[in-house]
A and B are shown apart, each in its own frame.
Chain A
Amino acid sequence: MELTTLLQQLINGLSIGSVYAIFALGYTLIFSILGIINFAHGAVFTLGAYFTYALTGARFGFNGIFAEAQLPFGLPFLLALFVGAGLAGLVGVLVERALFRPLRARGADPLLTLVSSLGIAVALVNTIQYFVGAEVYSFPSSVLQGLPPSVNFGTPEAPLVVRTVQLVIGVISLVILVVLTWFINRTKTGRALRAVAEDSTTSSLLGINTDRLILLTFFISGFVGGIAGTLVGLSVTITGPYFGIAFGLKGLAVIVLGGLGNIPGAVLGGIVIGIAENLLPSSAVAYKDAIAFAILFVVLLIRPQGLLGRTQVQKV
């Protein structure tokens, strides 16, 4: 591989990898606090993309209840991105209130919680299909107002061209990563979150309102999931209601690679998988989707605690 191609693929990998990272953070935050994997995260990711799509004032297709529907206004893309993600976050909160909290109250097995979140994922995905059909939607190119389609970082003789979309999603996800890391490590609420993750009983004895923090966690998780959904939708297309499910599975590979429940691990895992997928030789590109799962399988067999995770001693 030539150096420029390599650099190009590295930048692309870094860009999609940071999207993986923020998406995986949504999983890992909930896992670190509740010790469960929320399979509805992939569906919330999809919802985020559809919300943003609607908010930019774009028109829906001719299937479903909202056939040909269109909002009477259109928000600028960046605003729509955050409002859409906020709505996705609210869906996350709703899922927690309707499902996870009652399950916790009954002391349900983590396995049952997992199955339950799968059920919600199926319901959410099909609700989307019920309302807006199963068409492929792509964001109109006008959302990136006036930006050129690609940027050349090299010289005219040795071009190093990167799609603007890749840069935009890379920059947005890096900003979110930085803000979120700051929030978790430096603010009082973030410290309380980490305390709950460490030991929820003790922290509630110390006066932390755990239920409210869990709600907040679900909101943040849905929010970053929604952002990731929109960014992936922008980069490729929204390939129908099921588009988040496959992505959600890839997110699992990311969090296991980094170490379940480990926040820096999720970031590292996302970037490693993003780059690994992009460095694949073109002859093997058909197997691109298998990379993340091959990594997941191997990591589970060799180092189940992940790259940055701690070994857990099995207690009686």
Chain B
Amino acid sequence: MDQFIATYGFLMINMLLQAVLALSLYLPLMAGQLSLAAPGFFAIGGYVAAVLSTQKFLAVPGTSYGEPLNAFTLWLAGIFPFTPPGAAYPIGLVLVEMGIGGLLCGILAVVIGLPALRLRGIYLALATIAFVEILRVLALNLPITGGAIGIFGIPQPFPQDATKFSYAIITVPFLALAAWFVYRLERSRVGRAFIALREDELAATAMGIDPTYHKVLAFVMGAVLAGMCGALSAHVLNTWNARQGTFDASILILAYVIIGGSRVWLGPIVGGLFLTALPEVLRQVAGIDGLPVWLSSFLSDGRLIIYGLLIAFGVLFFPQGVVTPERLERKAKSPSPRAAEEAVT
């Protein structure tokens, strides 16, 4: 078991983080907005955490347990007293960074969202791609982000010899809270308004739902979640640079949602967990003895080809993703209201 955790600890943490990112893309999609901005907010959150933890909160950047900079950070750290013994950095400050990162991303999302969400469908997707690319170029060139090298030596809130799996004590509750939030949202007035907008914006507006308010709200929720996830990821990865949060990441996160299921909270989570593990699973399958050499070399070196084909053709065979509200409800053995609705129409 220890061996397993040592080998796959990082992968498991990454799976959880990617599932959160998938939820952050799912939130605007709930209101019918295809936004690919999640990696941009993810990157911003990461930079916030990286800059704060290496330059502001600790007097000695990156060293093991530098002195907190001032009384305020000391007080912040004191709010969350559960720092593991021997750790170089208080967990409380990681949570504070996540809060600050999420808040900043939320504010930025309001500023961007108000004009951008007048755009529909593909136009919004293009605007958010542009946003992510502009951020990437800025990250490569601004002094505060450390240019092309980025920021490294981000302090770890765990003892030196701990594996990355230690992060589970932050990541698991984080994903659980995010999932619970989206689950509850789908059953709330606001969430139902989102879904109404997705299904038919005109009809929803006629029913008295304010489209701008709800679209911006969904966009901001996604941004906050992505920003918090970025702040946590910066600590997990130990280093942060402009390669985090690129167009490639947009595609991956979109794939989690589309393949996993784009109409119910569980879909993005399943997609994020499964698709993040997939390359590693393929690598393991390639290692099975007795496979022909060409096949095992294809499975290990060509796994991204398989990944791409899976996205391309998965869409063809599972247009609504693997997890759909209907399948979830059938599991719960209650008659599906949606299916009844469709039978009527």
Known interface pairs A245-B247, A296-B126. Does A103 touch B315 (Cβ–Cβ under 8 Å)?
yes
- Please determine whether B121 and A110 come into contact, CB atoms closer than 8 angstroms: yes
B301 touches A249 (CB 8 A): no
- Nearest A residue to B304 via CB reads A126
Contact with B along A119-133 (1 / 0, CB 8 A): 111111111011000
Name the one of A119, A125, A286, A301 contacting B255, with C-beta atoms under 8 angstroms.
A119
B122–A290 contact, CB under 8 A? no
Q: Are A122's CB and B307's CB within 8 A?
A: yes
User: Known interface pairs A103-B316, A123-B312. Does A300 touch B123 (Cβ–Cβ under 8 Å)?
Assistant: yes
Interface contact B202-A126, CB-CB below 8 Å: no
Known: A103-B316, A289-B137, A290-B138. A114 touches B310 (CB 8 A): no
A236 at the interface (CB under 8 A from B): no
Determine which residue in A103, A112, A293 has the highest number of CB atoms from chain B within 10 A of its CB, and name it. A293
The smallest C-beta distance from A43 to any residue of chain B, in angstroms, reads: 9
Residues A126 and B308 in contact in the complex (CB < 8 Å), given A116-B315, A249-B133? yes
A171 at the interface (CB under 8 A from B): no
Asked if A37 is at the interface (CB within 8 A of a chain B CB), the reply is: yes
Judged by a CB distance under 8 angstroms, whether A99 is at the interface is yes
User: Do the beta carbons of A287 and B141 come within 8 Å of each other?
Assistant: yes
Task: Find out whether the CB atom of B308 lies under 8 angstroms from the CB atom of A106.
Answer: no
Least CB distance from B253 to A in Å reads 11
Q: Which residues of A contact B315 (CB under 8 A)?
A: 103, 108, 112-113, 115-116, 119
With an 8 A cutoff between CB atoms, is A304 at the interface? yes
- List of A residues within 8 angstroms of B255 by Cβ: 115, 118-119
* Bound: A264/B319 CA distance, A: 35
- Whether A116 touches B302, Cβ cut-off 8 Å, given contacts A297-B130, A300-B116, A316-B202, is no
Chain A residues with CB below 8 A from B304, complex form:
122-123, 126, 129
Classify chain B: how many residues form its interface, as a range: 35 or more
Q: List the A residue with the shortest CB-CB distance to B147.
A: A286
Contact assessment for A301 and B254 in the assembled complex, using a CB-CB cutoff below 8 Å:
no
* A17-38 at interface with B (beta carbon < 8 Å): 37
By a CB distance below 8 angstroms, the chain B residues around A99 are: 312-313, 316
Q: Which residues of A contact B258 (CB under 8 A)?
A: 112, 115
Q: Are B311 and A108 in contact (CB under 8 A)?
A: no
> When chains A and B are docked, how far (Å) is the Cα of A27 from the Cα of B229?
34
Docked-complex contact B254 and A115, CB < 8 angstroms: yes
Contact partner of B141 (CB less than 8 A), chosen from A125, A286, A293, is: A286
Determine the residue in chain A with the shortest Cβ distance to B302.
A130
Interface check A256, CB cutoff 8 A: yes
Cα A119 to Cα B119 in complex, Å, equals 24
The answer to whether A296 and B316 touch across the interface, beta carbons within 8 angstroms, is: no
Which residue of the partner chain A has the closest CB to B294? A65
Instruction: Give the chain A neighbours of B100 by CB distance below 8 A.
Output: none
Nearest residue (CB) in A for B133 is A293
A286 to B140, CA, bound (A): 9
Asked if B308 and A123 make an inter-chain contact with CB atoms under 8 angstroms apart, the answer reads yes
Flag if A293 contacts B316 (CB, 8 Å).
no
A253 at the interface (CB under 8 A from B): yes
Assembly CA distance A51 to B319 (angstroms) = 34
Asked if B127 contacts A296 (CB within 8 A), the reply is: yes
Q: Which residue of B lies closest to A289 (CB)?
A: B137
A108 contact set on B, CB distance < 8 A: 315-316, 319
Cβ-closest 8 pairs across A and B: A123-B308, A119-B311, A119-B312, A122-B308, A290-B137, A126-B304, A293-B130, A296-B130
Provide 17 A-B residue pairs closer than 8 Å at the C-beta atoms, listed in order of the A residue.
Answer: A108-B315, A108-B319, A111-B121, A111-B122, A112-B258, A113-B315, A114-B122, A115-B258, A116-B311, A116-B312, A116-B316, A123-B312, A126-B304, A126-B307, A127-B302, A286-B141, A304-B123
